[in-house]
Structures are given as structure tokens and as C-alpha cells.
Amino acid sequence: MPNRPELDQGGDHQEWEPSGALTSVLNGVSQLPGTDRKRDVARLKPHLEEALGTLEYLERRRGLSDREKMRGGALKMLLRSIEQGQ
């Protein structure tokens, strides 16, 4: 499942959660100097684009929670930094 919705505390809609694929790639990005971080970070791009597309859809459909907005902002900043580094 690409993006997992979880029940929101209010119970009126499901809270968006990052997909397992996105979190797996994020966890696999090496923080060690001398590793191929550029390649690792570039692998994130399609997952970030998918997640942001899902958040945009949810925003149009029902609006986003504060937590979803915060996550979306972080994902946008990460995607921008990847695109600027290419």
C-alpha cells in the first residue's frame, strides 16, 4: 500500500502516514561520509513525489491535519533540496 492512512484522533477521517517504501528508503540513506549519498538521496525522489501527490489529493478532498501539513512541508523541502543538488 503506497500511502497508509491511519485513524485521526478525531475519528472523522484517516490520518495520512508515509508509506513503508518511503520510510524504508529514508532509513537506508547513509549518514556516513564517503558513501554515495547522492545516489541514496536520488532514490527518494519518486517516493517523495508520490507522497506529495497523495497529500495534495487529500487536501483537495478533505483538508489536511496540522500533522499532515507539517509532514508535507518537510517532504517538499527534501524534494527541493534533491532537485537543487542534481
Domain boundaries of the chain, sorted by first residue: 4-85
What pLDDT is recorded for position 29? 74
Provide the 8-state DSSP code for 57: H
- What distance in Å separates the CA atoms of residue 82 and residue 76, rounded to the nearest whole number? 10
Task: Answer yes or no: is pLDDT of 51 > 60.
Answer: yes
Q: Which three cell numbers stand for residue 12?
A: 472523522
Most confident of 25-34, 42-51, 59-68: 59-68
What pLDDT is recorded for position 86? 62
Task: Answer yes or no: is pLDDT of 7 > 50.
Answer: no
Cβ pair 36, 27 in contact under 8 A: no
Residue 80 backbone phi and psi in degrees, to 5: -60, -45
- What distance in Å separates the CA atoms of residue 18 and residue 72, rounded to the nearest whole number? 10
Its pTM stands at 0.73
